[in-house]
Structure 1
Amino acid sequence: MSITTSPQSFSRPRYRPDIDGMRALAILSVLIFHAYPNTLLGGFVGVDIFFVISGYLISNIIFRGLALGSFSFFDFYARRVRRIFPAVTIVLLGSFLLGFFFLRPEEFKDLIAESPYAAFFVENWRLYVTTGGYWEVATELQPFMHFWSLGVEEQYYIFYPLICFLLWRVSARKFLASLVLMFVISWGLCLYDTSYESVRAFYSLHTRFWELLIGGILAYVELIWPDYKNYLLMPTNEGGSYIIDNFLSCIGFSLIVFSIFFIEEVDSFPGWKACLPTIGAVLIIAAGSEAFLNKYVFANKLAVFIGLISYPLYLWHWPIICIFRNNLAGEIPSGWLMCLLILSSFLLAYLTYNFVERPMRSKKATWSLVLVLFVVLLIVSLGSKQLIRHSQSIEKVIDNGIPDSLLQLREDLDEKEKSDAVCKAKFGEGFDVCRATSHNPSVLILGDSHTHVMWKYLKTVNELPDFYLLGKDAFFTFKDAYLIKRQGKNNDLARHFWSVIENSPEIDSIVLRSYWGNYLAQSLHSDLNSAWNSEEIFQYHWRETFKTLKALNKKVFVVLDNPVLPPTLLKRCIRTQRVSLLPDNVECNVNINEMRYTYKFTREFLIKEAAHWDNVTLIDLEKELCQNGKCPVWLNGELLYGDDNHLSFYGNKKIWPLIQKAVWGK
């Protein structure tokens, strides 16, 4: 299909104030959702609107450059760096300043450690690997969490121009067909992942690609076929185009409003539900600037102003709200405080736009400017992370006020403390901790980070019984089942471990200690049956493990999960912020009847299943850590927990005698 307009008519995209007004709708829906989540259930779809707008505008630039033969990769990427990097740098610095005063020391260090992922737009993959999803409380308390969407966009900007350039060179006539094919593939992957791996679907470029591309397809259709609406929808007649434009605008706006008010935060998003806000956004853009809603609602001065500052407003609003939410132990700020935070977000966004973004846009895009902006952002993010990691004096300033039991828990083990020659000769490489307390132990302690953390206490004990201790963070014990996120090395390590056990008759007792409830909550896969859900996998492979170890004549000691705290309880009970807005009257314990479903399910299943095996003994930590149905955070003036599920140095000291007595009888 040939282009029907002259080069002069499309050499530069025409500014449309109504699109800035659409940005205002997108950012306001996201901001209100974050500030008042019960008000707009689907306010998070504002991100999907942003995707469509970005795809449309970026495609306009690329397609017009390709059509004229003037597209420059350097110019394209340099403009992105010039617009994006300065604002990100300012927001990171501002967040560091706020975090120093209002976050707990470990949260502040996490903030800085997270900053390189946010700064260089891989936050979406970090969240996919390290969290259970966008809707988790743990995710919602991360101040740079919102950079996941910028990560998707910037990754799109990296690959999309190159793909378009190559497709254009191969066949400009089939270019539209190629775009449509990419759209169909991405949408299909989105539907598949939403059904089978919802967290990956939410955060990934390949499942969000179609949302940006749908705007690109519209941009290309407008470029090559300016009168497409008249020919596709009705014969050209006077007033017909205006009627079509208003119809498209109204339908599009209705789809977006419906999405904002009625799509809820569930695992089935994006999936087909993401079609509602994205198609709505495309229809509004397609309606053109003369449609009534576009001209009088989206293009009004207030909407355009908010749209112009939408990028820095998106960057600023979440760190500000989230840092204060952390300060309040997870509670969403309310009343005058939330109003103040929103006003501060708008003020900082305006200042960033006026004194950083606009002046930087006026500068000529040169290699030296790009390099300077890159280096500055690198120093602010990665440089800060490395400085805190390697400067003990700075770390001491940050850690001021943290209880000693927590500091002991968070100190990393020296390499010589992590492994020894005897254990490595037996089990090889790959475990975070691999220790042997004698030359030929008959007992093996195996687990994930709970076992890893327990070794931090055990290494200080003068007299230990003979055992191997193997700990690997997020290590799922079973041979033919694994966490989908960790299916690579951890799965291979599990198989290797079981091959060693099957050929080690001298090991007659195995102690299993892991965070069992966590694995039930994750996306598990079984090589034996891919159709099983996590509960079915969990139960079947436990039974198979007991059967295998029974056949190998091994005693099994299963350490049941220690009680798990609500995610924010520890924040309420340990005041280490320099400025705290929390009230003083906090009950620092959790009712045993209010434990998470996964804790209760795994506990009940293991108690019931262990009764069928004469070689299996359960070690119940509740007896030591809870009294009268209450599980305290503090005991005898000592802190029991390092976080919501890992026991502290003192906590492990309390439960070790239970394990020792069960396994060694003393």
Structure 2
Amino acid sequence: MAIAKAHEHGTSLHPQYRPDIDGLRAIAVLSVLAFHAFPEFLPGGFIGVDIFFVISGFLISLIIFKNLEQGRFSIVDFYIRRIRRIFPALMTVMLLCIASGWVLLYADEYKQLGKHLFGGSSFISNFLFWKESNYFDNAAETKPLLHLWSLAIEEQFYLFWPLLLAFVWRRKWGFLRIMGVIGLVSFAVNIYLVRHDQTAAFYSPLSRFWELMVGGALAYINLHRPQLNRFHRDLQSVLGLVLLVIGFAVVNNTRAFPGGWALLPTVGAFLILSAGPGAWCNRKLLASRVPVWFGLISYPLYLWHWPLLAFATIIEGATPNPAIRLGAALAAIVLAWLTYLFIERPLRTTNSLRPVLALAAANVVVGVVGLGIYFNAGFVQRPLNERLDFIAAGDVFQGSRNADASCPKLNQSKILPEEVCLSNSATPKVMFVGDSHMMALHSAVYSHAVKASSIMVAGHSCYLYPNLPYKAGGAHDWGNNCTAIAQEALAVAARTPSIDTVVISNTYPRGDLSKASRYELDGKPLSQREAFLAGNASLIGQFQKMGKKVVYVMDVPHLKRDPHACVSRFDASAERDCAYTPQENEALRAQYNDAVKALQASLPGLVVYDPTPVFCADGKCLAKVRGKYLYNDNQHISVAASQLVLDRMEQQGLVQWQAP
């Protein structure tokens, strides 16, 4: 989070301390804290990040300008000061996360934390979280270092910003023009991305730099164009606060953010900073004792609050109750104050270089430890992992998410973008077709638990409808190539006479299937039910015309929550209720079941298999059978469940395969 304060005391090269800026920081950090702890009360609180970007750009640019003007700018000195400011609290929090993760996290969770530790120490967290924000991503609420994405953006900005300003200064070019051009380009990238890939718009530095540059432009105006902002300072301050209030009230996670909505906190912060310390609101409200105190601890408070809330969510297996969230928020405030008093302030104010070298070394150590955790798969040997056996043994489904070059090698197939193709034979007998749920069903074949001569053609989050063009639906939509992948599956079957059986499976469309889908046929928009029937009828019908036996495997029952939440991390004997009852399961999929019956009636010869009895028996649905977890998450089945389903299908004569 871009909340690291840029001012430091004891040197004339730094801007004069303004308590109202600490007050503005207080608004920003408390809004973020309130949003994360109680999003129902302040759904727009996350715009506090944007406020911090402006503050940071303003103060850091003031420092650079002053040093340039006095001929004392040093890039080495600049980064030494950044280390003094950023690293003390950051290293403290990250080291505590390493220790807490060892005790509390399962192997896959700890492995992911290791990757995030490396990302935090190298300031590339935003890129890692950008890449992870997809169909398979675990909940953001369970990533203790998620909040470091914005700190990464800030530090990426400061890799080029001081060098750019020094370059422009020496050539006596116009700062405002250059900042204006770069800022407008960045804002344009933001507007473009928010319409095409909102996740990229959120995490990309290119779509965020303009916010820091707004602060940088104000710094230059204050120093060299003060006449531009000397009028109506009280009005500026009031208007800035009004824009922030509007932002908190109207911005929420349903908005295409940042986009144009980010102008509310950005312009609001600009106006408040521009008004100066003498403006009435700044002087009487922001510079009062309580806001200033929170502003002083704003950076460590931001660093502490999210890991505490994330670990609370992990331990509870769900969103903690309000009392726990309040306790985490209060604990974050206490820890932030202690960090500020005993770690941050002493290390920031010392003139010795030894702490700087020690902090830099600690940062390297944290990154190396993170890589060690990642490449050691989260240290499976820890006793905690025995409670989730399928994760402790390694999630084979992870490996089956991507094509492995086996299809081009064995079957001369050209892999399409976003297609997942796996083969273990030049003459496969069975073909698996579908989405990630099919990949999970196929995982026992991939792990060799089931010996099947097979090929799988699948697409992430794809209904494979060869006759229905697909309209992409937003950020990280894996389905952009679904229609082409469906057609490729048909082509593979047509040129592979050894395939005698095609097994098809997809996630089931839940809820009201009369709602609009992303498909249309002959220019007519289709409902989800209509798309399901028309698309599957085309796919299955064409396989049948080739003489293939088609088995449609209905989707498995889903869980209420991820298996990680099914067991207590402190009591091995305690298990939480994770599965729906059979009655709840039937209610959830009633319209889907009816659609499958209609599909089967329209396609003579289609075999339909319902795997529900594997998961629901004796009046209850289960997350675990004979000590084995049946799920990787709340809907993708584990290797153990895959083996159970495929074995039962073979026993019932639905599939017959020869070992590869």
Alignment TM class, shorter chain as reference: 0.7 to 0.9
Mapping for residues 369-408 of structure 1, pairs under 5 Å: 372-387=358-373, 389-390=375-376, 394-408=379-393
The corresponding residue for 2:52 is 50
One of 68, 90, 93 as aligned partner of 2:92: 90
- Give aligned-pair identity as a percent: 30
One of 425, 428, 431 as aligned partner of 1:441: 428
Pair 653,282 (structure 1): closer, same or farther in 2 beyond 3 Å: same
One of 337, 359, 365 as aligned partner of 1:350: 337
How big is the shift at 1:319? Answer: 0.3
The corresponding residue for 1:504 is 496
One of 634, 655, 659 as aligned partner of 1:664: 655
The corresponding residue for 1:259 is 247
Decide whether the 8 Å contact of 1:433 with 1:452 is kept in 2. no
Question: For each residue in 1:550-593, what CA deviation from the matched residue of structure 2 results, as whole angstroms up to 9, or x when unmatched?
Answer: 6655454443332222335x344322x1379x9x6843421567
- The answer on 1:562 being equivalent to 2:550 is no
Decide whether the 8 Å contact of 1:409 with 1:642 is kept in 2. no
The corresponding residue for 1:147 is 148
Q: Equivalents in 2 of 1:170, 1:613: separation in Å?
A: 75
Question: For each residue in 1:589-616, what CA deviation from the matched residue of structure 2 results, as whole angstroms up to 9, or x when unmatched?
Answer: 2156767999888777666556555575
Decide whether the 8 Å contact of 1:141 with 1:322 is kept in 2. yes
Mapping for residues 197-236 of structure 1, pairs under 5 Å: 197-230=197-230
Instruction: Give structure 1 stretches of 5+ with no counterpart.
Output: 1-8, 231-240, 519-523
Q: Equivalents in 1 of 2:357, 2:526: separation in Å?
A: 49
Q: Secondary structure at the match of 2:128?
A: helix
How big is the shift at 1:283? Answer: 1.0
- The answer on 1:424 being equivalent to 2:395 is no
How big is the shift at 1:486? Answer: 7.9
Q: Equivalents in 2 of 1:620, 1:350: separation in Å?
A: 57
Pair 488,85 (structure 1): closer, same or farther in 2 beyond 3 Å: farther
Q: Secondary structure at the match of 2:295?
A: helix
Q: Secondary structure at the match of 1:395?
A: coil
How big is the shift at 1:433? Answer: 7.8
The corresponding residue for 1:286 is 274
One of 289, 296, 303 as aligned partner of 1:315: 303
Q: Equivalents in 2 of 1:133, 1:30: separation in Å?
A: 26
Q: How many residues align?
A: 630
TM-score, normalisation: structure 1: 0.79
Q: Equivalents in 1 of 2:535, 2:65: separation in Å?
A: 54
- The answer on 1:410 being equivalent to 2:395 is yes
Q: Secondary structure at the match of 2:229?
A: helix
Decide whether the 8 Å contact of 1:106 with 1:399 is kept in 2. no
The corresponding residue for 2:566 is 573
Q: Equivalents in 2 of 1:152, 1:365: separation in Å?
A: 28
Decide whether the 8 Å contact of 1:60 with 1:216 is kept in 2. yes
Decide whether the 8 Å contact of 1:309 with 1:350 is kept in 2. yes
Question: For each residue in 1:299-328, what CA deviation from the matched residue of structure 2 results, as whole angstroms up to 9, or x when unmatched?
Answer: 223322221211111011110121012111
How big is the shift at 1:70? Answer: 4.0
How big is the shift at 1:282? Answer: 1.1
Q: Secondary structure at the match of 2:453?
A: coil
Q: Equivalents in 1 of 2:226, 2:606: separation in Å?
A: 74
Q: Equivalents in 2 of 1:533, 1:316: separation in Å?
A: 48
Decide whether the 8 Å contact of 1:18 with 1:299 is kept in 2. yes
What amino acid is aligned across from residue 188 of structure 2 in structure 1? Answer: G
Q: Equivalents in 2 of 1:211, 1:92: separation in Å?
A: 27
Pair 121,552 (structure 1): closer, same or farther in 2 beyond 3 Å: farther
Decide whether the 8 Å contact of 1:112 with 1:385 is kept in 2. yes
Question: For each residue in 1:321-353, what CA deviation from the matched residue of structure 2 results, as whole angstroms up to 9, or x when unmatched?
Answer: 210121111122432x44432332122212322
What amino acid is aligned across from residue 664 of structure 1 in structure 2? Answer: V
Q: Equivalents in 2 of 1:640, 1:137: separation in Å?
A: 18
Question: For each residue in 1:412-456, what CA deviation from the matched residue of structure 2 results, as whole angstroms up to 9, or x when unmatched?
Answer: 9999xx9797983325798988442x5522322245655555555
What amino acid is aligned across from residue 642 of structure 1 in structure 2? Answer: N
The corresponding residue for 1:645 is 635
Q: Equivalents in 1 of 2:450, 2:48: separation in Å?
A: 60
The corresponding residue for 1:587 is 577
What amino acid is aligned across from residue 560 of structure 1 in structure 2? Answer: M
Q: Equivalents in 2 of 1:381, 1:101: separation in Å?
A: 19
How big is the shift at 1:45? Answer: 1.5
TM-score, normalisation: structure 2: 0.80
Q: Equivalents in 1 of 2:132, 2:414: separation in Å?
A: 23
Q: Equivalents in 2 of 1:653, 1:133: separation in Å?
A: 24
Mapping for residues 516-535 of structure 1, pairs under 5 Å: none
Pair 258,458 (structure 1): closer, same or farther in 2 beyond 3 Å: same
Pair 356,525 (structure 1): closer, same or farther in 2 beyond 3 Å: farther
What is the root-mean-square deviation in Å for CA atoms of aligned residues?
A: 4.6
What amino acid is aligned across from residue 138 of structure 1 in structure 2? Answer: A
Q: Secondary structure at the match of 1:468?
A: strand
How big is the shift at 1:29? Answer: 1.1
Q: Equivalents in 2 of 1:598, 1:271: separation in Å?
A: 36
Q: Equivalents in 2 of 1:309, 1:533: separation in Å?
A: 54
Decide whether the 8 Å contact of 1:444 with 1:468 is kept in 2. yes
Decide whether the 8 Å contact of 1:24 with 1:304 is kept in 2. yes
The corresponding residue for 2:183 is 183
What amino acid is aligned across from residue 466 of structure 1 in structure 2? Answer: S
Decide whether the 8 Å contact of 1:35 with 1:332 is kept in 2. no
Report which stretch shifted further, 617-626 or 301-310.
617-626
Q: Equivalents in 1 of 2:355, 2:485: separation in Å?
A: 47
Report which stretch shifted further, 463-472 or 114-123.
463-472
What amino acid is aligned across from residue 113 of structure 2 in structure 1? Answer: L
Decide whether the 8 Å contact of 1:104 with 1:327 is kept in 2. no
Q: Secondary structure at the match of 2:256?
A: coil
